[in-house]
Amino acid sequence: MLNSMTSSHFSIEKTGLGALALGMLLALGTQPASIAQATQPNGNQQTAPTQPEGRIAPSATTPSSLVSVPEDFASLKLGPGFLLNVLVYDEPDFSGPARVDSEGNVNIAFLKPVHIGGDTVAQAKQALEKAFKDQGILKNPQISIDVQQFATTSATVIGEVQTPGKVELLAPHSLLEVIGMTGGETQLAGNEIEVKRADGDPPTKSYHYSRGGDASEIRDVMVHPGDTIIVKRAGVVYVLGAVNRPGGYAMQEQGELNVAQAISLAQGLALQAKVGALRVVQKQSDGKIVEIPISYKKIMDGKEAPLMLSAGDIVYVPVSRMKTVLSSTTGVVAQTTSAAIYVTR
């Protein structure tokens, strides 16, 4: 059974709707803290994360009142559960309340069922006027329709958003607006947004959204009640071995990362790094593990383009035993020199 929420009468000509508040509970999601953010550190000071430029900004709507009322009901589509007040001018016998049934039909006195499911209010008005004329009941019917009750419908937003769950919609809204109603994306959100259509047309489609701010591909994408939105997590690459901050790094920004950028995120090579033996470990589509040798010196000299990485790749920097010894020796020498200088003063 569809839940309904009662509102004041809304005429097709009206656009000023007033305020409509309905609270809803959202299933709160969590995100792991073990994956390092793909950002450069700023000392040891931690600051609150800010919304990256070009990403979806949180909506002013709070998570506790995620019912979205369109400013213009021209796009509102009627469905099962809607209660209408049908007024046939100068024909009181045909006027009165009418509920849209489970098949999307509405029953008016003396009139065969008229299918208006999926129609806007204007289209439903035209359908009823046509039915009266086609069935020979009225020659020139003039009909107005008020929406008395709205069937509560929702879209589901899951994945890397601040408050995943259901967002109540009365009419189609843009994809950007719907994600904004959940508080926006998390820091681990990637550049792929998947939309599963309730009507199956098409059943599922993925959209690319650049973290750099290019929203051209999704700007005109509309979300309808019943749709499911999945904000995918950014891919992760791993930088291990002789680097200053080994770990996993999210492929944010444009969703692309090369070897040089990955090492930079890991705060560069450690002194004991064996640069000539640097390699990338990849898992191919057939499950086979391959190692790709990387000439890091040529990359740094601009003689070779850095290898572009894919999600799941591992950049491994082996440790040079000779450099490890030198590193330890250098540390001791530095301390000795400092002490000697201090004593002579």
Taking only the tens of pLDDT, the chain with its 345 residues reads 334 343 333 333 333 333 333 333 333 343 443 444 444 444 444 444 444 445 555 554 444 334 444 545 677 788 888 899 999 999 999 999 999 998 899 999 889 999 998 898 999 999 999 999 999 999 999 999 988 887 767 899 999 999 999 998 877 888 989 999 999 888 888 888 999 988 777 788 988 876 556 667 788 898 888 899 999 988 888 999 899 998 888 886 666 789 999 999 899 999 888 888 899 998 888 888 888 999 999 999 999 999 998 888 899 998 876 554 444 433 323 332 332 222 222
Homologous superfamily (CATH) of 1-29+50-233 is wza like domain (3.30.1950.10)
DSSP structure string for 311-345: TT-EEEEPBPHHHHHHHHHHHHHHHHHHHHHHHH-
**Residue ranges of the chain that CATH labels 3.30.1950.10:** 1-29+50-233
Residue-level pLDDT at 48: 42
Plot region of 135 (φ>0 → left; ψ -120 to 50 → alpha; else → beta): alpha
Give me the amino acid identity at 196.
K
CB neighbours (10 Å) of residue 291? 11
Q: Where in the chain is the domain with CATH 3.10.560.10?
A: 236-323
Q: Which pTM does this prediction carry?
A: 0.54
227: enclosing H helix or E strand: none
Nearest-10 Cα torsion for 120, 126, 132, 136 = -140
Pairing assessment for the beta strands 153-159 and 189-196 based on DSSP bridges: unpaired
Residues recorded for the chain: 345
The dotted CATH code for 236-323 is: 3.10.560.10
